């Protein structure tokens, strides 16, 4: 096993001005844009083909609950970036506290999504198979929820065992929090597109 880190694992590269993890994260997010881009294209195509189903179906969605969730996710993005900023103040305790708030927001989002949205739909006999609108609704929000779960795992790791890295290499730890933040903001942005497209349009 390597006993020294590869170049630019911690320090930024002079030309790209990014450390490797950050460049890798941006590339990964580019592929994520293509993934959700394909799904938004699918939405457009289905909507054009099924105007009636789409214009009626979204009245069954609960805009209030969706708006609350949107608000919670935006808060979590703010606390995420504040957690990173806390590391620049050399304050690990504050960072972990803010990561905890982010994590709580993420869990809140998931619980609301599951209990006040999915379960209500299922109780009313509305499933992905009901019509093309609910097919794309459940698929896109479900995939988004999977991304939230992924974020919870990563944030939970850096809040818990991952934070040991701070003691040996605080800059490296701060980089990892920054990359986590990039991902988390992306997941947030996807929702900010999903909310108007699915609930409001």
User: Residues interacting with other proteins, by CB under 8 A?
Assistant: 1-10, 13, 15-16, 20-21, 23-25, 27-28, 30-32, 34-39, 42, 45-46, 49-50, 53, 127-132, 135-136, 138-139, 143, 154, 164-165, 168-169, 172, 175-176, 179-180, 183
In this complex, which beta carbon is closest to other proteins, that of residue 28 or of residue 71?
Answer: 28
Distances (CA, A) of 12 to 38, 68, 89: 33, 38, 20
User: Minimum distance between the CB of residue 115 and other proteins, rounded to whole angstroms?
Assistant: 20
**Shortest approach of other proteins to residue 71 CB, angstroms?**
27
Tokens describing residue 35: 């993934």
For residues 123 and 167, which CB has a smaller minimum distance to other proteins in the complex? 167
Question: In whole angstroms, how close is the CB of 106 to other proteins at the nearest point?
Answer: 17
Which C-beta is closer to other proteins: that of 86 or that of 179? Answer: 179
CA 150 to CA 144: how far, in whole Å? 10
Token reading at 112: 């609301």
Minimum CB separation of residue 8 from other proteins in Å reads 5
- Please tell me whether residue 17 adopts helix, strand or coil conformation: coil
**Six-digit token pair at 123?**
């109780």
Closer Cβ to other proteins, 70 or 117, answer by number:
117
- Least gap, CB of 94 to other proteins (angstroms): 22
Of 38, 14, 35, 18, the closest CA to residue 26 belongs to 18
CB within 8 A of 125, min separation 6: which ones? none
CB contact at 8 A, 152 and 107: yes
């Amino acid at each position: 096993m390597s006993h020294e880190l590869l170049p630019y694992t911690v320090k930024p590269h002079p030309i790209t001005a990014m450390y490797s993890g950050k460049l890798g994260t941006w590339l990964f997010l580019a592929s994520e844009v293509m993934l959700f881009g394909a799904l938004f294209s699918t939405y457009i195509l289905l909507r054009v083909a099924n105007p009636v189903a789409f214009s009626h179906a979204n009245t069954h969605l609960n805009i209030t609950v969706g708006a609350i969730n949107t608000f919670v996710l935006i808060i979590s993005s703010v606390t995420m970036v504040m957690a990173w900023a806390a590391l620049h103040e050399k304050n690990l305790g504050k960072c972990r506290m803010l990561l905890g708030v982010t994590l709580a927001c993420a869990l809140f989002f998931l619980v609301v999504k599951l209990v006040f949205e999915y379960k209500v739909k299922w109780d009313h006999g509305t499933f992905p198979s009901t019509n093309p609108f609910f097919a794309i609704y459940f698929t896109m929000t479900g995939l988004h929820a999977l991304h939230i779960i992924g974020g919870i795992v990563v944030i939970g790791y850096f809040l818990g065992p991952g934070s040991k890295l701070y003691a040996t290499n605080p800059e490296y730890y701060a980089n990892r929090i920054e990359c986590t933040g990039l991902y988390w903001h992306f997941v947030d942005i996807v929702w900010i597109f999903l909310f108007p497209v699915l609930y409001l349009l």
